[in-house]
Amino acid sequence: MRSRSDRRHRIARAAARTTYLVKASARLGAPSSVLLIAALIAGAAWLTKLSGGAPTAYVHAYYVPIIVAAGRFHWRGALPTAVVAGLLAGPLMPLELGGGAQQPATEWCVRLVAFLTIGWLVAALSKGSSRSFAAIVTDAREAHVLRLALAQRQLFPHYQPILDLRTQHVVGFEALCRWQDPVRGLVSPADFIPLAERTQIDVAIGTLMLGEAVQQTADWHAAGTRDLVIAVNISANHLCQPTFIGHITDALDRAGLRPANLCVEITETAIIHDRATALANITHIHELGVLISLDDFGTGQSSLAYLQEFPIDIVKIDQSFVARVDVDPKCAALVLAIIQLAHALGATTVGEGIERPAQLEALIALGCNQGQGFYLGRPAPPVSAAAPELRPLVSSPDPVA
C-alpha cells in the first residue's frame, strides 16, 4: 500500500506538470494551443482505452486538457473541451466497471458535470483576475513553500543602521526581512515580499517582523545602548487589517518597549490601497506615540497630498535620488526641495541608499537629518547587542544586500 506522503508527492508532481503545461500553452499562439489541447485529449482517450475501461482513475487524465483549454481560452475553450472529454469518457468510449459491467448513464452524466465545473472554475479564476491562471497556480504553490518557511522559522530580520548625519551616531535600525532557504540560501525580500503581498502572507510576515524587531530593540536597550528607534516595513494589506493595531500594541507590550521607539514604514501604495482605513489606523497608532515614516518618497504619484493629510514624522528620500545627488545638480535641487518641504511640515528626513562619501557630504550640505546605506552599514544579523558603540555592527556583510 502506498503511504500518504507518497500520494501527496504524486499529486504535487502532477500539479507541477499541469502548471507547467498551462504556463507553456499561455505562451503558445492560438493554433499551437488548439493542437496541444487536441493532443492532450487524444492522450487521455488513449489512456482510458488502454486501461480497458476498468480503472476509472485514468479518466482523470481528461482534466489536464480541460484545465489547459480554460487557462488559455477561458470559457470558450473550457466548454467544448469538457463536452468532448465527457463524450469520450462516456457514450463514445464507454468505461467498464469491474466484472465487465458497463457504467450506468448517470455515472457519465455526473462526470460530465464535474468536467464542466472544473472548466468553469478555472475559466472564472483566470478571467476574473488580471493574472493568468498559470500565474495563480504558481503563486499558490510558491505561497505554500513560503508558509512552510514561516512555520519553520526560516524568515527573520536583518538590521540596517540609520545614522544622525550631524553627530554620526546610530539613532536606530530598519528591520529588513530575510529568508534563509535551505536550498537557495539567503533570499532577498524583493523575491518573496511581492508574492507574500499577493497571497496575503504579508500579514504573518509583518507580525513576525514586528515581534522580533521590537523584542531585539528592547534587548539592545537592556544591554545598555542609547535610545534606538526600530523601523519596521508594513505592507498595504497589513496596515488595513482590523487586527493591525492589536499587532502593534501586542508587540510593544510583550517586549516592554515604548511606542516612541517604534517606527512604522509605509509607502504610498499602502495609502492608496484603502485610504480611509489606512488614515484611521495610522492616526490611531500615531496617537499611541508610534512614529510614522513615508518610505521611498518621491517615487509615487501624489506624495504632497499624503504629507499634508497623514501624520508623517519621517520622510525617507528614495535611493534613486540619493544615487545621483552628488553628481547631478538637478537631482540635488530635487532633494533640497524634498528636504525643505518635509522640514516645513515638521518631518525628519532620511537619505536612503548612501553608498559613497560624496553622497553623504552632499546630503549633509543639503540639510538632510539622517542617513542609511551600505557606506554607513549593511543590513546584518543582530550579533553585537552588547556592544557599547553599535557601529560597525557585524564583521560579515549581508550577501543579499
- Binding residues for ligand C2E, rule: CB under 6 A, are 160, 176-177, 188-190, 193, 202, 205-206, 209, 233, 235, 265, 295-296, 319, 353-355, 372-374, 379, 401
The SS3 of residue 40 is helix
296 binds Mg ion (CB under 5 A): yes
Stretch that binds Mg ion, among 62-70, 185-193, 200-208, 265-273 (CB under 5 A): 265-273
Closest distance to ligand C2E from the beta carbon of 354 (Å) = 6
Closest distance to ligand C2E from the beta carbon of 300 (Å) = 13
Nearer to Mg ion, 203 or 232 (CB): 232
Closest distance to ligand C2E from the beta carbon of 358 (Å) = 13
If one counts every other C-beta atom within 10 angstroms of the C-beta of residue 231, the result is 25
Cβ-proximal residues to 169 (8 Å cutoff; 6+ apart), any chain: 163, 226
The residue count for binding Mg ion (CB under 5 A) is 5
Nearer to ligand C2E, 188 or 249 (CB): 188
Closest distance to Mg ion from the beta carbon of 218 (Å) = 21
233 binds Mg ion (CB under 5 A): yes
Of 295, 313, 326, 398, the one binding Mg ion by CB under 5 A: 295
Stretch that binds Mg ion, among 125-133, 347-355, 365-373, 379-387 (CB under 5 A): 347-355
Stretch that binds Mg ion, among 26-34, 152-160, 290-298, 341-349 (CB under 5 A): 290-298
Residue 321 CA to residue 354 CA, distance in Å, equals: 10
Q: Cα-flanking dihedrals φ and ψ of residue 392, to 5°?
A: -75, 150
Helix axes 244-255, 275-288, angle to 10 degrees: 20
Nearer to ligand C2E, 58 or 297 (CB): 297
Cell 554607513, residue?
Answer: 376
Closest distance to ligand C2E from the beta carbon of 139 (Å) = 17
Listed residue (19, 235, 229) closest to 134, CA to CA:
19
268 binds Mg ion (CB under 5 A): no
Closest distance to ligand C2E from the beta carbon of 351 (Å) = 10
Task: State the SS3 of 72-112.
Answer: HHHHHHHHHHHHHHHHHCCCCCCCECHHHCECCHHHHHHHH
265 binds Mg ion (CB under 5 A): yes
Q: Which does 188 bind (CB under 5 to 8 A by kind): Mg ion, ligand C2E, none?
A: ligand C2E
If one counts every other C-beta atom within 10 angstroms of the C-beta of residue 348, the result is 19
Closest distance to ligand C2E from the beta carbon of 159 (Å) = 11
Q: Which residues of 179-211 are buried (b: 16+ CB within 10 A; e: fewer)?
A: bebeeeeebebeebbebbbbbebbbbbbbbbbb
Q: Is the distance from CB of 198 to CB of 237 less than 8 angstroms? A: no
Residue 373 CA to residue 77 CA, distance in Å, equals: 52
Q: Applying CB under 5 A, which residues contact Mg ion?
A: 233, 265, 295-296, 352
